[in-house]
Chains A and B, each alone.
Chain A
Amino acid sequence: MFVQKNTLTARVKLVNRHNLIKELPMNQQHSQSKRFDLLAWIITIMFGATFTLTPVVIHFYHIESFLRIIIAFVPMMMFVLFLLRFNHTVKSLDELGRRIHVETLVTAFVIMALFSVLGPCLSLAFQWKEAGEILQSIILLPIYYSIAAVIVRRRYL
Chain B
Amino acid sequence: MKNRLRVLRAEKSWSQADLAEQLGVSRQTINSIETEKYEPSLSLAFKVAKLFGKSVEEIFLFNNERG
- B-contacting residues of A (Cβ < 8 Å)? 1-3, 8, 11-12, 14-16, 19, 22, 25-26, 32, 93-97, 99, 155-157
**In the complex, what residues of B have CB within 8 A of residue A99's CB?**
38
Further contacts, 10 of them, CB under 8 A, given A1-B61, A95-B40, A157-B32: A2-B2, A8-B6, A8-B7, A16-B10, A94-B24, A96-B26, A96-B32, A97-B26, A157-B28, A157-B31
Could you tell me the distance between the alpha carbons of A99 and B25 in the complex, rounded to whole angstroms? 13
B66 contacts chain A at the CB level, 8 A cutoff: no
Q: Are B61 and A2 in contact (CB under 8 A)?
A: yes
B49 within 8 Å of A (CB atoms): no
Complex contact A95–B29 (CB within 8 A): yes
A-side contacts of B9, CB under 8 Å: 12
Across-interface contacts of B65 in A (CB, < 8 A): none
List 11 A-B residue pairs with CB atoms under 8 Å apart, sorted by A's residue number: A2-B2, A2-B61, A8-B6, A12-B9, A19-B15, A22-B15, A96-B25, A97-B26, A97-B28, A156-B37, A157-B28
Residue numbers in A under 8 Å from B40 (CB-CB): 95
Complexed CA–CA distance, A96 and B41 (Å): 9
Task: Check B29–A16 contact: CB distance below 8 A.
Answer: no
* Bound Cα distance from A155 to B10, whole angstroms: 25
**A95–B44 CB distance below 8 A:** yes
Tell me which of B4, B6, B11, B29 contacts A94 (CB under 8 A): B29
Q: Are B15 and A15 in contact (CB under 8 A)?
A: no
Bound Cα distance A25, B17 (Å):
13
The answer to whether B6 touches A155 (Cβ under 8 A) is: no
Say which residue of A1, A8, A19, A26 sits within 8 Å of B28 (CB atoms).
A26
- Asked whether B13 lies within 8 Å of A94 as measured between CB atoms, the reply is no
User: B10-52, CB under 8 A of A: which get 1 and which 0?
Assistant: 1101011100000011111101100001101100100000000
